Amino acid sequence: MDMLRSVVIGTAVGLMAATGSAAAQDATSDPGMRLAQYEARAAAGDAVAAEQAGLMHYHGVRPHGRNLQRAVVYLQQAAAEGRPGARLLLDHLTEEARAADPKAYVPWPWGC
């Protein structure tokens, strides 16, 4: 069952990256800048960008590294807007990571 779940999550993540409008609009190759762009779009209400930011935090992006609390915040935003891949990944995360406070992080350049 765990292997099937891993395959489903991997497929969902691949499809999200291939079909996301925020990903298609991205023009930079610097992961840190892409993350900042996704976070800014997510702050403006873009569910696809929130999902991409959540994925980047989940997998870890240089120089930031992996941050499950930030990942959960963005994935919750995307899932609330109906993104099924974000919901699937949230269901995969641990209970501890799901307890993240959505007001604890404010995206750059306004916050951390």
Predicted local confidence at residue 75, as pLDDT: 94
Confidence band for 55, pLDDT divided at 50, 70 and 90: very high
Instruction: Tell me the per-residue pLDDT of 65-86, one tens digit each, with 9 for 90 and over.
Output: 888 889 989 999 999 999 999 9
- Pick the most confident of 16-30, 45-59, 88-102: 45-59
Of the candidates 90, 83, 88, the residue with the CA atom closest to the CA atom of residue 23? 83
- Whether the per-residue pLDDT at 53 is higher than 50: the answer is yes
Domains of the chain by residue range: 2-98
Q: What are the tokens at 100? A: 């993240």
| Phi, psi of 18, deg, nearest 5 | -75, -30
